[in-house]
Each structure stands twice: as structure tokens, then as C-alpha cells.
Amino acid sequence: MLTIAKAGVSLLTAACLAVGFTACSSDDDGGAGASHSASANAQHEALEKYADKERTALAAHDEFKETYSSIKVAVADPGTVEFTYTYAQQLDAAKVASYLDGKVATFQSTFDDDVAPAMEATGVKTGRKMVYTYLNADGTQIWTHSFS
């Protein structure tokens, strides 16, 4: 049976592994004088590239299959990456939410120290934000929080 502690370890591992795979790349979309539309397109392409790296990093780890039935990574312009984790088993929503509330500082630190710089290195220049949403096995929302 999935425990809240095991679920918590899985979620923190997922966040750290994804960041580790994305922190090493850099793109320079370079052109001063580019139009607003070109800048917006470059920003969106960089955001998609970052999200693809996150998807690849998460998919490479079989240990998440026991904890989550799905992990989705989506983008929302101008600079938001949205992670939606759906637990494989129904959990006590209040306990999971309380546990995740206790990890907000850890998530924020990870965002500040690792995620935001990795997003910037990939070419996401403005509006960098990460949204984490956790759903119970039945699809009901347990917890959501954004970090920027």
C-alpha cells in the first residue's frame, strides 16, 4: 500500500530529477531588435523544449509508476510549466495536503535554486513559474501550488 511518506519521497524525487536533467542545457535566442511576436514565439518554443525535457526525465524513472498512474507536464504561456500528478491509489487527501503544505519551502527553494535558472538557460526569459497539482486516484484535487 502506498504511504504518504512514500508518496512524498516520490514527489520530491520527481522534482529533483527533472531539474537535474534540464539544468545542463542552454539556448541563446540572441537577436536584439527581434519583434514582440518573434520574442513570444521564441519564448513559447523554449517553454516547450523545457517541458519536453521534464517529460523525458520523468518518463525515465520506473519507480514513479507504483506511486502515480500518470504524470502530465503542460505549458501555459508566457512561462509556466504545469505538473499534474495523479496517484495510483486513493489516499487520505487531508493527510497528503498537509504533508505537501509542509514541503512548500522545499519546493520554493528548488524552484529558486534550480528550476528558474534551468528554465532561463533553456530560453524561458520571462514569467517563469511552476505549478504542481496532485490528484487522488479518483481525479479529485488534493493540492495545488504555484512557485515563481
Domain CATH for 64: 3.30.300
| 101-137: pLDDT as tens digits | 999 999 999 999 999 999 999 999 999 999 999 999 9
All three cell numbers of 17, joined, read 530529477
Predicted local distance difference test score (pLDDT) of residue 37 = 85
Domain span including residue 135: 4-26+35-147
At 119 the three-state DSSP class reads helix
What values do phi and psi take at 35, rounded to 5? -70, 160
Which of these, 27, 29, 88, 17, lies nearest to 54 by C-alpha position? 17
All three cell numbers of 40, joined, read 513570444
Return the half-sphere exposure (C-beta side, CA atoms, 13 A cut-off) of residue 44. Answer: 8
Total structural domains within the chain: 1
| 35-93: pLDDT as tens digits | 668 889 999 999 999 999 999 999 998 899 899 999 999 999 999 999 999 999 999 99
Residues 123 and 27: their CA atoms lie apart, in Å, by 5
CB contact at 8 A, 43 and 123: yes
Neighbour tally for 50: CB within 10 Å = 27
CB contact at 8 A, 145 and 104: yes
What values do phi and psi take at 12, rounded to 5? -70, -35
